Structure 1
Amino acid sequence: MIPSVLRQVELQDMDVRALTEIDLPQVLELERLGYSHPWTEGVFLDCFKDTYRLWAMVQGTDVLGYAVISYMVDEAHLLNICLHPGLRGHGAGRRLLRHALAASLKDGMVQMILEVRAGNDVASTLYLSEGFEEIGRRPGYYPDANGREDARVMAYRFT
């Protein structure tokens, strides 16, 4: 269950741990709150494989955010990162991103790539401030209310 009074949640009270299938009801609620075109339960279930890393940002039993990373050879691909809307802008996303980066480096990845909506300036600013660089664009990558939106492709090199 997601706390209704998030202003009481402090970063030091949150932990990052492996996401499990038991967390999916909370994850699906966060996905619905966070995205106009949310992933389905089936998409999440497909990510519980050896080549994926799934992380949950939690306070007690409450999942307040998550990240899904796919590993291919020596590259980590951040497929999805989402926080409860009430936590945005308070450092929780940065903490979850840094955890995903550190785990990927520890697992021997040489870089992390991601796509971010071209119009998502808040997320793009976070990624740039953490050392990601834009390496390209994917035209019409994301669905949106008016058709399709381009994605900025960003990369963080560990070496």
Structure 2
Amino acid sequence: MELLLYCGLPGAGKSTYYKLHHVDTHIRLNLDMLKTRERERLLLEAALQAKAKLVIDNTNPDVLSRSLYIQAALQARYQVICYWFCAPFEEALARNDLRTGTARVSRVGIASIAKQFITPSYEEGFHEIHRVHTLDHHRYNLERSIDLSISEVKHEV
């Protein structure tokens, strides 16, 4: 049983990565799709009880937002793996500009998430942390189980 927790700016490539790599193996929880925290909570609880493989596909920019999922997964005896999509601010903005309608996030919204973003750490309860670099719309470079002692990243806004 595993929970994959994605974190990164809007436009970093999280949802596309899910569609390319985890759509056939993991249930996706995404607040944009579910619309409310209550719906998300109910689906999370049901999936954990069913022992289903999960992906949390949200920005999860800080320790508090990630802790809700991590603690629930650890209590259910899941392996918790972070996929950190570390796209620079300008790259995330450029990819976001290709979106249309409600999928597009305002520049101010992305800047706000960038300012509050805290690099994920093993102290949060992750068993593994993978850093994902989005190369283009369908290509990624995945660094597995990275050493975060040299990976502190701040987004330039």
Q: TM-score, normalised by structure 2?
A: 0.35
Structure with the larger RCO, 1 or 2 (CA within 8 Å, 6+ apart): 2
Counting strand residues as a fraction of each chain, which structure ranks higher? Answer: 1
